């Protein structure tokens, strides 16, 4: 039983890393970023490529993926999202277009495949990333057999979540983000450079998704179409938790990850996902603003 809860916790961790970025961008800017799943995918490919080209392991890929996806996120914010503030549903559609572009860029090896140039690691095929030797196998803790890699996922997430919490609740920049979440117009009137903070927030959220991608690459197959299901899961977490509430995101990712693990043990992965969707629908029907929303003013 403890083992199942532990697997659930590792699922929750990845969900949390994906959802944190979505929660901040959606809560603060009213942007639904459907290309967020592609950030995870790009992060996973950074792990693949750094294995092939740099002969480096996952640990190196983590900061690398953060930088790559944060820059990519920054570019998307500057080129597309910036022009669409205040048009929430349009951001959903435009970023879906961006997602298609990124998927095809990876599949076509950035278009180089047309010129007969092959970038090893990219393309339509499936990729696998082997975890470093010291993260393979299991170890015993308090009488429970724990998978080393899953423990690693949980630890990395704990560190990143704490760092995010510290950034948002203990720094001046974080206060600006929180001000924007509550009321963007009032924040702008108080002299906060909303555009700049938005860009930074978007980039940071994308970077977290990139790290989630690296972590996923150790347990799942990496392929160009892996993004959409992940962004859907991320949104389910954000909406269930309550938009704009980071604690809500934390708790609902824990809830959904554990539900997923528990049902999957009893039945199978497919039905586990179905049950997760059912729970999300019920939560929205019962509490339309999510489990942990603050009062709108």
Partner 1 sequence: MALENKLRLAAYALFFLAVFAAPVFSDEFLLNRLSKYLVYGMLAIAIALTWGYAGVLNLGQGLFFGLGAYMLAMSLKLSSPTSLQQGADQPVPDFMLWNAQPGSPTELCCITPGSFIWLPFQSQWTGLVLGVVLPVLIAGLLGLLVFRKRIAGVFVSIITLALALLVRLVVGDAQPVTNGFNGLTDLGWLTIGGLEFDPYSHATYYLCAATLTFTLIGTRLLVETRAGLILQAARDDQTRARYLGFDVPLYQTFFFLIAAGISGLAGMLYVVVAEFASPTFMDLSFSIAMVIWAAVGGRNSLLGACLGAILISAIETSVSETAALIEAWKAVIGLIFVLVVLFLPRGLAGAAHDLIKRFRHSQPHIAPSSREQRNEVH
Residues found near partner 1 in the complex (CB under 8 A)? 32, 80, 83-84, 86-90, 92-94, 96-101, 103-105, 107-108, 111, 114, 124, 228-229, 232, 235-236, 239, 268, 270-271, 273-274, 277-278, 280-281, 284-285, 288
Query: If DSSP codes are grouped into helix, strand and coil, which group holds residue 141?
Result: strand
The smaller minimum CB distance to partner 1, of residues 99 and 251, is found at 99
- Please report how close the Cβ of residue 138 comes to partner 1 at its closest, in angstroms: 30
The smaller minimum CB distance to partner 1, of residues 183 and 268, is found at 268
What is the distance between the alpha carbons of residues 243 and 232, in angstroms, rounded to a whole number? 15
- Please report how close the Cβ of residue 276 comes to partner 1 at its closest, in angstroms: 9
The smaller minimum CB distance to partner 1, of residues 74 and 92, is found at 92
The smaller minimum CB distance to partner 1, of residues 110 and 134, is found at 110
What is the 8-class DSSP label of residue 131?
Answer: P
8, 257 in Cβ contact below 8 A? yes
Q: Which residues contact 16 (CB under 8 A, 6 or more apart)?
A: 157, 161, 237, 249, 250, 253, 254, 257
Per the structure block, which two tokens stand in for 45? 């490919």
- Please report how close the Cβ of residue 270 comes to partner 1 at its closest, in angstroms: 5
275, 45 in Cβ contact below 8 A? no
H/E element holding 145?
strand 144-147
- Please report how close the Cβ of residue 288 comes to partner 1 at its closest, in angstroms: 5
């Amino acid at each position: 039983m403890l083992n199942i809860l532990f697997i659930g916790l590792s699922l929750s961790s990845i969900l949390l890393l994906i959802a944190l970025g979505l929660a901040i961008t959606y809560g603060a800017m009213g942007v639904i970023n459907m290309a967020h799943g592609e950030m995870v995918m790009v992060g996973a490919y950074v792990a693949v490529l750094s294995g092939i080209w740099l002969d480096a392991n996952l640990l190196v890929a983590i900061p690398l993926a953060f930088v790559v996806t944060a820059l990519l996120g920054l570019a998307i914010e500057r080129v597309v999202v910036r022009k669409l503030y205040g048009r929430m549903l349009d951001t959903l559609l435009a970023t879906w277009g961006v997602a298609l572009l990124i998927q095809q860029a990876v599949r076509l090896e950035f278009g180089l495949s047309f010129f007969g140039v092959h970038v090893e690691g990219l393309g339509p095929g499936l990729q696998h990333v082997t975890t470093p030797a010291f993260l393979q196998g299991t170890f015993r803790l308090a009488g429970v057999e724990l998978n080393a890699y899953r423990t690693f996922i949980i630890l990395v997430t704990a560190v990143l979540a704490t760092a995010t919490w510290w950034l948002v609740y203990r720094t001046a920049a974080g206060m600006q983000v929180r001000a924007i979440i509550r009321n963007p117009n009032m924040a702008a009137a108080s002299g906060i450079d909303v555009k700049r903070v938005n860009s930074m927030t978007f980039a940071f959220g994308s970077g977290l998704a990139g790290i989630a991608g690296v972590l996923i690459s150790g347990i799942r197959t990496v392929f160009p179409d892996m993004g959409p299901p992940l962004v859907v899961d991320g949104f389910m977490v954000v909406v269930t938790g309550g938009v704009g509430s980071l604690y809500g995101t934390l708790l609902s990712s824990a809830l959904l990850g554990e539900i997923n693990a528990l049902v999957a043990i009893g039945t199978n992965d497919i039905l586990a996902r179905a049950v997760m969707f059912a729970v999300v629908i019920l939560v929205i029907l019962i509490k339309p603003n999510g489990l942990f929303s603050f009062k709108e003013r």
